[in-house]
Amino acid sequence: MKKKRVLVTGGSGFLGSHICERLLGMGREVICVDNFFTGRKDNILHLMDNPFFEIIRHDVTFPLYVEVDEIYNLACPASPIHYQHDPVQTTKTSVHGAINMLGLAKRIRAKIFQASTSEVYGDPEIHPQTEGYWGNVNPIGIRSCYDEGKRCAETLFFDYNRQHDLRIKVGRIFNTYGPRMAMDDGRVVSNFVVQALRGEDITVYGKGEQTRSFCYVDDMVDGIIGFMENTLDDCIGPMNLGNPGEFTILELAKTIIELVGSKSRIVFRELPLDDPMQRKPDITFAKRSMNWEPKVPLRDGLAPTVEYFDNYLKKI
């Protein structure tokens, strides 16, 4: 049988590289597309010798012409440090990238997954967040390039579905962590782990009372691919994908210090603008439609994450 050919944009990033790896393990032929702005070749070096893995250096804000059966569109900086570095380009990546990938999917009649985000909910006024909640987003703030870019991409996906009968999947991804995270991406798990391993002060913003839900990367990949493979007619999304287990940022910092055995102190800094106070997914839709929910507890997922960063820091 002919192998299914799959395109993964942002395929050398943290989450994208894990998806590429899993798809290859499922017998797929994978084309990884990345401009390597935040993606790293280190994340996919172990895949290079696989004859069914191919890399294309390309920016999705420009059209791409390939022949594939499915598309996973993950291309976009996903951490505040990276997406605020060039906010105009971030918006272009979300919007122009979506237009180009949707145009490609329309031409070749491919099914396409959009990696949306919990950031579409902004600083939510309901808790936990359900897919029917429209969000509380500042359209002109420093995070808006990412938040509104992803919201516009969702609009485009559903309009292509309605207007062109395109097969779409829109997943709203909540905080995900695990090996291959970038140590300089400003995300809370990587920040705390690196600071703890170095014995540096752990920086907590505000009083650390804001909450987040952390999903281990293996669980997230299960959810994304399971969603893409689901054939139910009404299972196109948007679908929350994340771990409903809720922790304060201060709890996370203390847990990481304990796991590392670090002597780091916790220091408090002023809360950044538009930083949401609560973030927790309602995953009822995912449970009902594809029997998916995360299985890895936070402590169990942090152990290999700490080991990854410990090994990485020893090499540099």
pLDDT band at 195 (very low <50, low <70, confident <90, very high): very high
53-57 and 29-34: which strand pairing? parallel
The set of residues, in sequence order, having a beta carbon less than 8 Å from that of 141 and lying 6+ positions away, is: 147, 273, 274
Helix ranges (H only) for 59-201 are: 80-85, 87-108, 144-164, 188-198
The answer to whether residue 202 sits within a structural domain is no
| 266 belongs to a structural domain | no
Contact indicator for 126, 84 with CB cutoff of 8 Å: no
**Where is average pLDDT lowest: 8-17, 54-63, 145-154, 228-237?**
228-237
Q: Residue 66's domain spans which residues?
A: 5-179+216-243+281-295
For residue 254, report the phi and psi dihedrals to the nearest 5 degrees. -65, -40
72 is catalytic: no
Residue at 61 is within a domain: yes
pLDDT on residue 274 = 67
Please give the backbone phi and psi of residue 168, each rounded to the nearest 5 degrees, phi first: -120, 160
Angstrom CA distances, 57 to 11, 71, 93, 172, stand at: 10, 16, 15, 26
Confidence band of 2 (pLDDT split at 50, 70, 90): confident
Q: How many residues does the chain have?
A: 316
Q: List the catalytic residue out of 146, 160, 177, 216.
A: 146
Could you tell me if residue 264 is inside a domain? no
Structural domain includes residue 272 = no
192 found inside a domain = no
Q: What is the mean pLDDT of residues 229-238?
A: 89
Please state, in angstroms and rounded to a whole number, the distance separating the CA atoms of residues 211 and 280. Answer: 8
Q: Which of 96-100, 191-195, 312-316 is the least confident region? A: 312-316
How much of the chain is in helix, strand and coil states, percent to nearest 5? 40, 20, 40
Residue 130 placed within a domain: yes
CATH code, domain with 47: 3.40.50.720
Is 316 inside any structural domain?
no
Helix axes 249-260, 298-315, angle to 10 degrees: 60
Query: For residue 155, what pLDDT is reported?
Result: 98
Residue 142: burial class (beta carbons within 10 Å; 0-12, 13-18, 19+): middle
Provide mean pLDDT across the span 62-86. 92
**Which of 64-78, 107-121, 141-155, 273-287 is predicted least confidently?**
273-287
The predicted-structure confidence for 255-268, as pLDDT tens digits, reads as follows 999 999 999 999 99
Residue 29: pLDDT over 70:
yes
* In the predicted structure, residue 128 carries a pLDDT above the cut 90: yes
**DSSP secondary structure code for residue 237 in this structure:** S
Distance CA 80, CA 182 (A): 13
Band (pLDDT 50/70/90 cuts) for residue 83 is confident
Asked if 13 contacts 178 with a C-beta cutoff of 8 angstroms, the reply is no
Q: What is the mean pLDDT of residues 270-277?
A: 77
Number of domains in the chain: 1
